[in-house]
């Protein structure tokens, strides 16, 4: 077969194959087959050296025309296949605007945060300010400055997480009161919310990590009546106007006199139930008048100033407010639980 016929056969074969192509990868393979360095047209051009001089221009022109023809077929087929792909992609990505949108999950406040914010708002409304302090505390601020002697059981290893001989994870937020009295002069009206740590086994009512808020008032003429009025205002704001309070004599090293504060049961309203052990009362916090020794160690004259202090577990207030019966639920991050708030 002469070269002219070979070129004609290549053109016929190219038209036949290009008609069947249905993807871009196969199209590229055809381009290489016909126009590549080892392609069919290149092989024909290599044979031109054997032709008489007068035939070479004719075969060369025919080969170039064929290359242009095949390039045009390539371009047309590529445009056709790309349009098919684009149409298919558009069809797959089409958005039906009549369908309901996907619900976006948004975060919300944890129940502990809700109650902490409410406590802050209540006491700010009563004239208090918010004070903060470090969770890693020195032994002096955590115990000695609060009139807790070295032999007190609260300082034992089984109750406290010690970091070394001098530092520990604070067991209450009362050290914030000490730090505040060290840098501020009376009158002092503060609350100190935050995390605290005690060596407790984790169960339904105990956790080694929990939250407290301590309150401190130091001013002239402060009496136990001021303490009772403040606590009663707080309790009714959180649990409702019909909630009753009572103060039972107790002992804390940093207050004298000291009292435990009970509220009428939030479940049975004082009638008696399993939650309150049929007493009608629930313990919610400790309180008392600031001990003169604490004032003296802070450089405040107890003959001129007096004050009261109180401390409560935010976790317990949260559990009572929302009827939660297991403190562990507050720390598990279970969305089914948290979405209820």
Q: Summarize the confidence of residues 103-121 as an average pLDDT.
A: 90
Site of tokens 């290489």 = 32
Q: Summarize the confidence of residues 45-70 as an average pLDDT.
A: 75
Dist. CA 103–CA 24, nearest whole Å: 39
Q: Is the pLDDT assigned to residue 275 strictly greater than 90?
A: no
How confident is the model at residue 156, as a pLDDT? 67
Q: Summarize the confidence of residues 218-240 as an average pLDDT.
A: 95
| Closest by Cα among 252, 262, 314 to 284 | 262
Site of tokens 């470090």 = 134
Q: Is the pLDDT assigned to residue 56 strictly greater than 80?
A: no
Q: Is the pLDDT assigned to residue 162 strictly greater than 60?
A: yes
Confidence band, pLDDT 50/70/90 cuts, at residue 62: confident
Q: Summarize the confidence of residues 262-290 as an average pLDDT.
A: 88
Q: CB 63: neighbour CB atoms within 10 A? A: 20
Per DSSP, the three-state class of 189 is: strand
How confident is the model at residue 158, as a pLDDT? 63
> Range with the lowest mean pLDDT among 26-35, 213-222, 286-295?
26-35
Confidence band, pLDDT 50/70/90 cuts, at residue 318: very high
- Find the largest Cα–Cα distance for the chain: 129
What digits encode the pLDDT tens for the residues 7-49? 777 777 777 777 777 888 887 887 787 777 777 777 777 777 6
| Closest by Cα among 250, 261, 252, 251 to 227 | 261
> Range with the lowest mean pLDDT among 30-44, 278-292, 324-338?
30-44
Residue 248 half-sphere exposure toward CB, CA atoms < 13 A = 11
How confident is the model at residue 171, as a pLDDT? 92
Q: Summarize the confidence of residues 135-139 as an average pLDDT.
A: 94
Confidence band, pLDDT 50/70/90 cuts, at residue 237: very high
Q: Is the pLDDT assigned to residue 154 strictly greater than 80?
A: no
Mean pLDDT of the chain: 87
Confidence band, pLDDT 50/70/90 cuts, at residue 282: very high
Q: Tell me what percent of the residues of the chain surpass a pLDDT of 90.
A: 50
Q: Summarize the confidence of residues 85-90 as an average pLDDT.
A: 84
How confident is the model at residue 216, as a pLDDT? 96
Q: Summarize the confidence of residues 144-161 as an average pLDDT.
A: 76
Q: How many residues does the chain have?
A: 341
Distances (CA, A) of 295 to 18, 216, 307, 310: 98, 12, 9, 15
How confident is the model at residue 107, as a pLDDT? 78
Q: Is the pLDDT assigned to residue 314 strictly greater than 90?
A: yes
Q: Is the pLDDT assigned to residue 262 strictly greater than 70?
A: yes
Q: If you average pLDDT over each of 25-29, 63-67, 144-148, 170-174, which comes out highest?
A: 170-174
How confident is the model at residue 10, as a pLDDT? 76
Q: Are 159 and 197 in contact (CB under 8 A)?
A: no
Q: Summarize the confidence of residues 291-315 as an average pLDDT.
A: 94
């Amino acid at each position: 077969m002469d070269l002219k016929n070979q070129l004609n056969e290549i053109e016929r074969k190219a038209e036949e194959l290009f008609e069947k192509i249905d993807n871009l990868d196969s199209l590229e393979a055809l381009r290489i087959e016909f126009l590549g360095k080892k392609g069919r047209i290149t092989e024909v051009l290599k044979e031109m050296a054997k032709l008489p001089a007068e035939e070479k221009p004719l075969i060369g022109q025919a080969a170039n025309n064929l290359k242009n023809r095949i390039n045009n077929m390539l371009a047309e087929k590529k445009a056709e296949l790309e349009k098919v792909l684009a149409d298919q992609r558009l069809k797959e990505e089409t958005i039906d605007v009549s369908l309901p949108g996907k619900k976006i999950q948004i975060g919300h406040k944890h129940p502990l945060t809700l109650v902490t914010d409410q406590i802050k708002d209540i006491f700010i409304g009563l004239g208090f300010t918010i004070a903060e302090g470090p969770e890693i505390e020195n032994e002096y601020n955590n115990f000695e400055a609060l009139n807790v002697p070295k032999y007190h059981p609260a300082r034992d290893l089984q109750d406290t997480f010690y970091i070394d001989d001098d530092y520990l994870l604070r067991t209450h937020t009362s050290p914030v009161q000490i730090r505040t009295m060290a840098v501020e002069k009376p009158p002092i009206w503060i609350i100190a919310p935050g995390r605290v740590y005690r060596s407790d086994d984790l169960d339904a009512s105990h956790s080694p990590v929990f939250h407290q808020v301590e309150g401190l008032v130091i001013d002239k003429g402060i009496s136990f009546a001021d303490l009772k009025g403040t606590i009663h205002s707080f309790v009714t704001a959180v649990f409702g106007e019909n909630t009753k309070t009572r103060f039972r004599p107790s002992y804390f090293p940093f207050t004298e006199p000291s009292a435990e504060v009970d509220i009428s049961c939030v479940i049975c309203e004082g009638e008696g139930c399993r939650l309150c052990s049929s007493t009608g009362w629930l313990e919610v916090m400790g309180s008392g008048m600031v001990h003169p020794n604490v004032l003296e160690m802070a450089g405040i004259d107890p003959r001129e100033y007096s004050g009261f202090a109180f401390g409560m577990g935010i976790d317990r207030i949260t559990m009572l407010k929302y009827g939660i019966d297991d403190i562990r639920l507050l720390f598990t991050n279970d969305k089914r639980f948290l979405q209820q708030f």
